[in-house]
Structure 1
Amino acid sequence: MKPGTRRILTLLLFLGGTLVSAAADYSSWSFFGGLNLIYNSDDAGITEVPGMNPDGTPGGLASAPSPLPAFAGAEYRYLATSRFIIAPSVSLWTAQYAFARDRALPTEIENRTAFVSTIYLDIPFLVFFEHEKVSWTLGIGPGIVARYALLEPGIPADAINVGETLSAGEQVAACNDYFWNSLRWLYPSIQTGVRYRLQTGWGAGLTVRAGIPLFNLWAKPEVPFVDSFMVLAALTVTPPAKKRD
């Protein structure tokens, strides 16, 4: 192969995300799935006991206990130095919300009005350690939570629950305003993870991330700082690096 052709091929491999860590023969791409605990501090949101109310309306909670949605995503690792990694990732999940108490709150299914899709983009800067077949990472970085609410399927836009003033459609609009005002999309993260190299060359591991709701320092209405704090735990798989001819 001519030297010029070899240089072009090397550049294409780099752009395609097949750079290999100097410490382990992995692809730069990893894929993961797990559960995300989103802390809801609205302990006073219990306004009705579960079950059917005397007027025939369903009971339940004005807001739900802290939701635990499943999520999935992918990560790309760029080895900046032998010890430092830049690891942008994207995570996807959905949850059910309603607008109550001047806030967008997770709800039980009987009180839902908004179906909220979420994309979490974070770019942690990680310190990397490896010993034989096991590697560890630890780091911190900026993050953005992009949330968008749609009317729940089967819920009329003009429906109004007993004791509420906003229609379902108005609640959806209020949820979107709440999500995007006061920098509520700003979610820096802290991350740690471990990965084990299997005999097949694949990597299997566990990653734990904490999404920090920094906006609670200034956003109104005032809530405890830990409200909407996220803990994302995921199992990860990493393919082996492609072998070069």
Structure 2
Amino acid sequence: MNKFKINLVCILIISFFICSAYSQEVSEKDKNESPFSLSQIEDIPVFGKHFVVAPTFKDFIHQMDFVMDFAPTLYLNTASTLISAPSPIFFPLTIGFSWPKDCFISLNPKITFYSMYYLWYFNSALPSEIENRTVTSLSFLVNIPISFSIYLRRSYFQFSLGMGFLFRFGFLSNAVTALDSGYFGSAEIDANFIKDWFWQNGRYLYISTEISWLFKFTNVIKAGPTVNLYLPLGGIINDGNFNGLMCSVGMKFVL
């Protein structure tokens, strides 16, 4: 938890300096570098450029922006902490792209990678602390949202809504053997239950939402705060709870 607090403070400090630097850079040069015309700047807010079909593959690539997120993420665990870990916080790696850039509506697919420990208890796979772990999962959250952007003079607001698909691949954790004790007799049996649970009853389905406020530093670099919420669709429908909900707050970079 101390490590998380230190990382969170660092992110907040970096965000403060970025926003401070942005607020002090208003000049005529910025207007000349804007991707929008002067008439668009005067008539703010605007909804971006008109989409033009790319005639070549090279032009299609130029219509894309590369996206990176650095956002600590809370994974909600509704089970008792006497059995499992408190809702864990992890630091994922998120990359993706936005197409077409500078338009009101765009496709913004992203993939998020993280790992987590799990144990098996009473027909559920629950987040686990390192001392009680059975399985380590390598998780890939593939998020395919549609984004809506409203452009101001030197920044833009973005709201995204889409579907997420969580692919979790589990294996026995380091220093855990197949014959170690488990809830159903052995760690190997528990691990098999956990891996099956990942794919049952639509637990891999999520509804994703995102709100971002991105500042334009150059014609290429945009950055700003972002908030993401992932609702566990399968868990809500089949289990009747929000176990597995994920929420992240951090910085988004668009290049």
Shorter-chain TM-score above 0.5: yes
Alignment equivalent of 2:119, drawn from 81, 98, 106: 98
The structure 1 residue matched to 2:151, chosen from 93, 114, 130, is: 130
Distance 2:130 2:102 in 1: 48
CA distance in structure 1 between the aligned counterparts of 2:231 and 2:138, rounded to whole angstroms: 19
> Does residue 1:230 correspond to 2:249, yes or no?
no
Post-superposition offset of 1:18 = 2.3
Following superposition, the deviation at residue 10 of structure 1 comes to 5.7
Check if 1:42 corresponds to 2:87. Answer: no
Alignment of 1:177-196 (within 5 A): 177-196=196-215
Distance 1:200 1:82 in 2: 15
1:201 positional shift:
4.0
Superimposed CA distance per residue, residues 105-149 of structure 1 (whole angstroms, 9 cap, x where no aligned partner): 001111001001110111111111111111110121111011111
Encode CA deviations 1:176-234: one digit per residue, 9 max, x unaligned.
Answer: 11010101111111111111111474111222111111112432xx352x211110223
What's the counterpart of residue 225 of structure 2? 206
CA distance in 2, matches of 1:166, 1:207: 44
User: SS of the counterpart of 1:124?
Assistant: strand
RMSD (Å), alpha carbons: 2.0
**Partner of 2:169 in structure 1?**
148
Q: What secondary structure, in the 3-state scheme, does the structure 2 residue paired with 1:205 have? A: strand
* Match in the other structure for 2:56: 11
* Alignment size in residue pairs: 202
The alignment-based identity, stated in percent, is: 20
Tell me whether 141-150 or 208-217 shows the greater mean CA deviation: 208-217
TM-score normalised by L of structure 1: 0.76
Q: CA deviation at 1:87?
A: 0.6
Q: Any gaps of 5 or more consecutive residues in structure 2?
A: 1-53
> Following the alignment from structure 1 to structure 2, what is the Cα–Cα distance between the partners of residues 148 and 166?
22
Corresponding letter in the other structure for 1:39: L
Q: What 5-or-longer segments of structure 1 have no aligned partner?
A: 1-8, 20-26, 47-61, 240-245
Task: Give the conservation status (yes or no) of the 8 Å contact 2:222–2:253.
Answer: yes
TM-score, length of structure 2 as denominator length: 0.74
2: CA distance, partners of 1:135 / 1:213: 29
Counterpart contact for 1:80–1:86, Cα < 8 Å: no
Name the CA distance, whole Å, in 2 between partners of 1:177 and 1:108. Answer: 21
Normalized per residue, which structure has more helix? Answer: 2
